[in-house]
Amino acid sequence: MTVRLRPHHLLCILTYVGKGYSPGFTANMTRIAGRLSAGEEVEIVAGPDDICIPLLTDPDPHCHRTSVTGRDKAAARELSLSLNLRIKTGAKLVLDADLLSRLRKAFASNRVRSACTGCEWIELCGSMSARRFDGAVLTTGLLRPNRHIE
Ligand code: SF4
């Protein structure tokens, strides 16, 4: 199986500590973090992804808004430039120990956080970063060889 993620969710998953919009949302995101921790592959998608699914039955899900697609563009651009990744639709990657460490270092240094501007979770994510992601649900369950982008 592959976990479908929109670009800015590569950031959100780094700091996820079990809090979110609803119990259904957090249950789903916790399952996804577990799958990623176990080494499941990510496929980058445009628009709503597997994390968005519980919100898509809302009357006006924010997942389709231009402000959110703007977050995707910012995250894709900064992650690609800062980490020399190709974050674009259809790209595949595995969040192994090395890549997760690089992502978290970039997040902590504020090099890839333009996507966070105006987000309601920015304080929580900042505090997670400040405490070195202690308590984050996403871990490196598998130490895989360097297989980042296909
Ligand atoms: S501040 Fe918002 S966009 Fe940034 S990582 Fe946290 S939840 Fe995601």
Phi, psi torsion values for 3, nearest 5 degrees: -90, 120
Instruction: From the CA of 11, give the closest atom in ligand 1.
Output: 5
Angular region, 16: left φ>0, alpha ψ -120 to 50, beta rest: beta
CB 40 within 8 A of CB 80: no
Task: Using the predicted structure, report yes or no on whether residue 129 has a pLDDT greater than 80.
Answer: yes
pLDDT in tens, 62-107: 999 999 999 999 999 999 999 999 999 999 999 999 999 999 999 9
Relative orientation angle of helices 97-108 and 122-130, to the nearest 10 degrees: 110
Q: Determine, yes or no, domain membership for 62.
A: yes
Instruction: From the CA of 125, give the closest atom in ligand 1.
Output: 6
Predicted pLDDT at 147: 43
Tell me how many degrees the CA angle 20-50-30 measures, rounded to the nearest 5. 45
**Ligand 1 neighbour 68 (Cβ under 6 A):** no
Q: Which domain holds residue 30?
A: 2-130
**Ligand 1 neighbour 21 (Cβ under 6 A):** no
Smallest CA separation from ligand 1 atom 8, residue? 12
pLDDT in tens, 13-59: 999 999 999 999 999 999 999 999 999 999 999 999 999 999 999 99
Predicted pLDDT at 141: 58
Q: Which neighbouring-strand residues pair with 3?
A: 42
CB 64 within 8 A of CB 48: yes
Angular region, 127: left φ>0, alpha ψ -120 to 50, beta rest: alpha
Q: Determine, yes or no, domain membership for 142.
A: no
Q: Determine, yes or no, domain membership for 53.
A: yes
Domain count for the chain: 1
Instruction: From the CA of 116, give the closest atom in ligand 1.
Output: 4
Q: Determine, yes or no, domain membership for 144.
A: no
